[in-house]
Amino acid sequence: MIPPSRTVAKTGKARPSIALICGLMLTTGMLLSCPPSLARGVALNLVATSTTLDWNAVALTSGHVLVGGPRWTGFPGPSVALVTQGNRIRPFPDKEWNSWAPGQDARKRFVNVNALHVDPEGTVWVVDTGTPEFGGPPVKDGAKLVRIDASKGTILRIYPLGPEVAPVGSYIDDIRFNGPHAYLTDAGTGALLVLDLASGGVRRVLAGNPAAMAQPGRPIVVDGQVLRKGDGTPMLINADPLEVSPDGRFLYFGPLAGPWSRIPTAALDDPNLSDKELAATVEPWADIPPIGGSAMDSKGRLYFTALRDDTLYRRDTDGKITMLARDHRLHWADAPFLNKDNTLWLPVAQLDRLSRFNGGKSHIRQPFALYSVPLTP
């Protein structure tokens, strides 16, 4: 809950402050227009731009800034790139990995990259959905995780995601780490994946569970418009964002439009639990509105970018939500990455402006921008 914050009129009657009203809107998923003066005015620093890569992912490790983006946006890429001096992007780890074309072997090429993340050891992970067309089926051997030593640009391991865990209709979305396991979301069919980092074994759990499924009554609204598919129906995106609590006890997750739930990682990690027993451990966590992405710091504070109003928010562990910045340059800012120096990196994807969501007409405003935001310790 938002802590009480009240102002008193001349009549002596207490009335809620604008800050409280906006906070209550946030906790109920109602992101209406709140005064920009409520923002703390954190600075947006432009780091890089691109006209060829619609990036929706960023990761920093070993002194490198890596960006990635999906193939289905229609831009030539590369799928994963290193941001170099002079605001240039270079295929990472090399051109071959970024050269996939229909009919080619997908085992050692990126088909459709949706996420980048760094594990506790500092290596970067690339999440390849294996689906070259938006909403299409994965190509043979296309769905996979690729672990890379960013300092050397060498492939450390490839984790295949076969049809038993990434079936037709799936869209493996993002990844987080917790001890010997990693967790992933399937935004296509709605499920979680549990990866054993040592063996490479993957279990598909909570498939179709209400906590992993988008609710028709919670549309994705951007610029006052409901995001719709080509056939005019509202876009529904299932299990998408996820975070692990700093103590590793809980996984937080939900559909893109919320709400979020939590599940004990001990239950997720137990292969002996039945689907019913595992589902019984899921409980509500936070009523967060449609977001582009999230990041969690070492104190359990959640940073997220709200799609409805181009705003960066922070949710404290007591449920208090604070606006950090509102700026139209953050239009569909996707997948924030929180660096060790407490700087938040924000790739701005503008996904709702793609032609496929606008009757074949693109509303993209070039160039695509990557921002960094210094946060208060």
188-243 pLDDT, tens digit per residue, is: 999 999 999 999 999 999 999 999 999 999 999 999 999 999 889 999 999 999 99
**Structural domains of the chain, count:** 1
User: Position of tokens 């290596």?
Assistant: 123
Tell me, yes or no, whether 50 lies in a domain. yes
DSSP H/E element including 268: helix 265-268
Tokens of 5: 């914050």
* Structure tokens that stand for 104 in this block: 């080619």
- Residue 20 is predicted with a pLDDT of 37
Q: What is the CATH number of the domain that holds 119?
A: 2.120.10.30
Q: How confident is the model at residue 41 (pLDDT cuts 50, 70, 90)?
A: low
CA atoms within 13 A on the CB side of 336: 31
**pLDDT at residue number 26:** 40
Query: Is 217 within the bounds of a domain?
Result: yes
Alpha-carbon distance 309 to 371, whole Å?
Answer: 17
- pTM summary value: 0.89
Instruction: Name residue 178's beta-bridge partners.
Output: 181
Amino acid at position 244, single letter: V
Q: Which pLDDT value is given to residue 377? A: 62
| Alpha-carbon gap, residue 160 to 102, rounded angstroms | 19
Alpha carbon distance 58, 20 (integer Å): 33
Q: What is the pLDDT of residues 137-179, one digit of tens each?
A: 999 999 999 999 999 999 999 999 999 999 999 999 999 999 9
CA torsion sign for 351, 109, 90, 152 is positive
Q: Is 327 a residue whose pLDDT tops 50? A: yes
Question: Is 38 part of any domain?
Answer: no
**Residue 32: Cβ-neighbour burial (10 angstroms; 0-12, 13-18, 19+):** exposed
Predicted confidence at residue 354, as pLDDT, reads 96
Would residue 9 count as lying in a domain? no
Print the domain residue range for 349. Answer: 44-374
Residue pLDDT, tens place only, 286-322: 999 999 999 999 999 999 999 999 999 999 999 999 9
User: Which one, of 263, 258, 260, lies nearest residue 279 by Cα?
Assistant: 263
Residues 206 and 282: beta-carbon distance below 8 Å: yes
Let me know if residue 204 belongs to a domain. yes
Answer yes or no: is 30 within a domain.
Answer: no
Residue 221 lies in a domain: yes
Query: What is the separation of C-alpha 162 from the centre of its chain, rounded to a whole number of angstroms?
Result: 22
Residue 7, in any domain of the structure: no
In this structure, are residues 261 and 302 in contact, taking their beta carbons and an 8 Å threshold? no
